[in-house]
């Protein structure tokens, strides 16, 4: 019973190999059996851990903790594992209609799930590095699955840039190994306060954080994300934007808890704010559906970073909760956008009209996703954004800047919602599988919005003493929508030259590496100010 973490990792990998070897259509149904098995095992393991918490960590092979690989499950990883299995099930329901006979696609999809579940549970620094590289390689192969020009060049950019980022992680790990002699996160966390030499610890922290910045698309190094997420197939876009970018944030939470430095928290708060603003600015000037959604991912990750890098407990839990919510509604929006693109055969928002009449059921689900991302009451975006703002209420300047970000999001989605009006002559081609997938996701969004107290107590073991659903927040939301509508009508509808220039701006590969070096340099300068 206590070896279930190992089963969780190896069952998807072995079933993916079986699917690839047999290459028959009947064996492809094994993907659903795998998902059902994993979810049952995870629920049993969760109830088992709650009763006896001393079995939460096991070492592979029975070696001692300091020299072996340890798998540990704490509060954060259990929540993430549930989210992972849920979203993978929905993506496999969505794309099963088209990929019934495609054994290679299902092979890579299941293998990626196994590697991702291993990343969430491991407690060893070098194992983390190997798994990050494996996830990069397999996501590249899934991005270039369509094999046309856009996908191949986006995939090459993604692969090379992420590999360069991972080498910086390796450099940071070398420094830590030479000081401590072990690579286990718990043992290092226990002994790190005994080190006198602040300079070397700061150097290791800076190198590791630069790799994490590349992986989770923070401000100067985010340029790979719109290209990769815009060129991938729709189901893979949903998976990438919902989960794999969040793996960078998960590693960041672990490294933050390992080092416990107070000097860099303000730096990451400012960085998160710049990410949010730049994401909104780029999203307002795009016309392609998938690029708009990809730039919104960047800005929401900025908001999550603003929540995660404070000392206030409530804001921290708001940031964590926003990771889960963002995975749900962003997958909903990407999957819906995939269905729209398949029916209409064009990708520009200004030319697609009449979605509500051609596909009524799909458009209801997409409207649920849009209300969640802008933060409407009774949906889950409202909860997490209010939790983040609640800790920042004392500093009115930052509260005002947060308000501006919300207005930007609302404006952009009002521009997005123009696709629902008007008439169109096409017939909707949505299959039953896809509608079921979108339906389950929207039910999850609404449930998490209404019963968040229950989830907080059960999953995170935290009591939330704040009252969120009061009149002030609801009024704020409606004012945001009204100001966003006014902004859209006056400024965005006429396509000014500034927006055209921003839309066609492109940063080449050499400049992106130069920005990465600049990012490391600013972190070094910031640490001098604090030392």
Q: Which residue has the tokens 């450099």?
A: 171
Q: Is 149 in the site for other proteins (CB under 8 A)?
A: yes
Q: Is 517 in the site for other proteins (CB under 8 A)?
A: yes
* DSSP H or E segment with residue 201: helix 198-215
Nearer to other proteins, 412 or 512 (CB): 512
Q: How far is the CB of 308 from other proteins (least distance, A)?
A: 29
Which contacts of 482-488 are long-range, i.e. CB under 8 A and separated by 24 or more positions? Answer: 483/407, 483/410, 484/407, 484/408, 484/409, 484/410, 484/411, 484/413, 484/414, 485/410, 485/411, 485/414, 487/407, 487/411, 488/411, 488/414, 488/415
**Residue of 314, 341, 401, 492 interacting with other proteins (CB under 8 A):** 341
Among 68-76, 198-206, 379-387, 504-512, the segment contacting other proteins (CB under 8 A)? 504-512
Among 108-116, 132-140, 358-366, 383-391, the segment contacting other proteins (CB under 8 A)? 132-140
| Sites for other proteins among residues 151-210 (CB under 8 A) | 152-153, 155-156, 159-160, 163-164, 167, 170-171, 174, 177-178
Q: Are 449 and 378 in contact, with CB atoms under 8 Å apart?
A: yes
Q: Are 128 and 191 in contact, with CB atoms under 8 Å apart?
A: no
Q: Is 473 in the site for other proteins (CB under 8 A)?
A: no
Residues 6+ apart with CB under 8 A from 461: 75
Q: Is 503 in the site for other proteins (CB under 8 A)?
A: no
Structure tokens at 489: 């009508």
The rounded distance, in Å, linking the Cα atoms of 63 and 66 is 8
The rounded distance, in Å, linking the Cα atoms of 35 and 30 is 9
Residues 6+ apart with CB under 8 A from 159: 136, 137, 140
Q: How far is the CB of 516 from other proteins (least distance, A)?
A: 9
Q: Is 147 in the site for other proteins (CB under 8 A)?
A: yes
Total Cβ atoms within 10 A of residue 489: 12
**Which has the closest alpha carbon to 221: 517, 521, 506, 501?**
517
Q: How far is the CB of 263 from other proteins (least distance, A)?
A: 25
Among 73-81, 266-274, 335-343, 396-404, the segment contacting other proteins (CB under 8 A)? 335-343
Q: Is 524 in the site for other proteins (CB under 8 A)?
A: no
Cα–Cα distances in Å, from 318 out to 136, 322, 372, 472?
28, 6, 15, 18
Among 77-85, 141-149, 188-196, 352-360, the segment contacting other proteins (CB under 8 A)? 141-149
**Residue of 234, 331, 386, 442 interacting with other proteins (CB under 8 A):** 234
Nearer to other proteins, 354 or 377 (CB): 354
**Residue of 18, 21, 24, 137 interacting with other proteins (CB under 8 A):** 137
Kindly state the number of chain residues that form the binding site for other proteins, as judged by CB under 8 A. Answer: 44
Residues of this chain that bind other proteins (CB under 8 A): 98, 126, 130, 133, 136-137, 140-141, 144, 146-150, 152-153, 155-156, 159-160, 163-164, 167, 170-171, 174, 177-178, 231, 233-234, 338, 341-342, 345-347, 506, 508-510, 513-514, 517
């Amino acid at each position: 019973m206590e070896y279930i973490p190992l089963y969780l990792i190896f069952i998807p990998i072995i079933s993916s190999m079986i699917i690839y070897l047999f290459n028959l259509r009947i064996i492809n149904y094994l993907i659903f059996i795998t998902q059902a098995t994993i979810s049952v095992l995870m629920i049993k393991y969760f109830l088992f851990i709650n009763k006896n918490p001393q079995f939460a960590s096991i070492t592979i092979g029975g070696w001692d903790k300091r020299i072996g690989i340890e798998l540990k499950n704490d509060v954060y990883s259990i929540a993430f594992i549930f989210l992972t299995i849920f979203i993978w099930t929905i993506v496999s329901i969505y794309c099963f209609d088209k990929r019934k006979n495609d054994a290679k696609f299902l092979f890579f999809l299941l293998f990626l799930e196994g590697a991702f579940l291993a990343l969430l549970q491991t407690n060893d620094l070098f194992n983390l590095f190997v798994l990050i590289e494996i996830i990069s390689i397999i996501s590249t192969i899934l991005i270039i699955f369509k094999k046309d020009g856009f996908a191949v060049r986006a995939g090459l950019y993604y692969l090379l840039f992420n590999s360069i980022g991972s080498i910086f992680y390796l450099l940071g790990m070398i420094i830590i190994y030479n000081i401590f002699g072990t690579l286990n996160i718990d043992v290092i966390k226990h002994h790190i306060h005994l080190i006198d030499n602040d300079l070397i610890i700061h150097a290791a922290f800076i190198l590791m954080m630069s790799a994490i910045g590349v992986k989770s698309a923070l401000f100067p190094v985010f340029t790979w994300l719109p290209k990769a997420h815009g060129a991938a197939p729709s189901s893979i876009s949903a998976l990438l934007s919902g989960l794999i970018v969040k793996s960078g944030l998960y590693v960041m939470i672990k490294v933050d808890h390992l080092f416990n430095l107070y000097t860099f928290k303000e730096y990451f708060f400012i960085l998160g704010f710049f990410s949010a603003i730049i994401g909104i600015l780029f999203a307002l000037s795009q016309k392609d559906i998938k690029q708009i959604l990809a730039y919104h991912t960047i800005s929401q990750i900025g908001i999550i970073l603003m929540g995660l890098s404070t000392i206030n407990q409530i804001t921290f839990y708001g940031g964590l909760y926003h990771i889960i919510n963002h995975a749900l509604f962003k997958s909903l929006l990407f999957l819906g956008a995939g269905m729209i693109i398949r029916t209409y055969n064009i990708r520009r928002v200004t030319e697609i009209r009449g979605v509500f009449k051609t596909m009524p059921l799909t458009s209801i689900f997409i409207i649920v996703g849009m209300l969640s991302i802008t933060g409407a009451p009774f949906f889950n975006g409202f909860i997490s954004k209010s939790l983040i703002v609640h800790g920042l209420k004392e500093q009115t300047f930052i509260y005002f800047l947060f308000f501006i970000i919300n207005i930007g999001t609302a404006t952009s989605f009002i521009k997005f919602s123009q696709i629902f009006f008007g008439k169109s002559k096409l017939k909707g081609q949505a299959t039953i599988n896809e509608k079921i997938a979108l339906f389950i996701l929207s039910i999850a969004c609404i449930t998490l919005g209404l019963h968040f107290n229950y989830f907080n107590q059960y999953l995170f073991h935290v009591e939330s003493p704040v009252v969120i659903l009061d009149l002030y927040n609801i009024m704020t939301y409606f004012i945001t929508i009204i100001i966003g509508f006014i902004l859209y009508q006056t400024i965005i509808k006429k396509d000014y030259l500034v927006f055209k220039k921003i839309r066609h701006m492109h940063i080449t590969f050499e400049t992106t590496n130069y920005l990465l070096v600049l990012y490391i340099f600013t972190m070094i300068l910031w640490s001098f100010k604090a030392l």
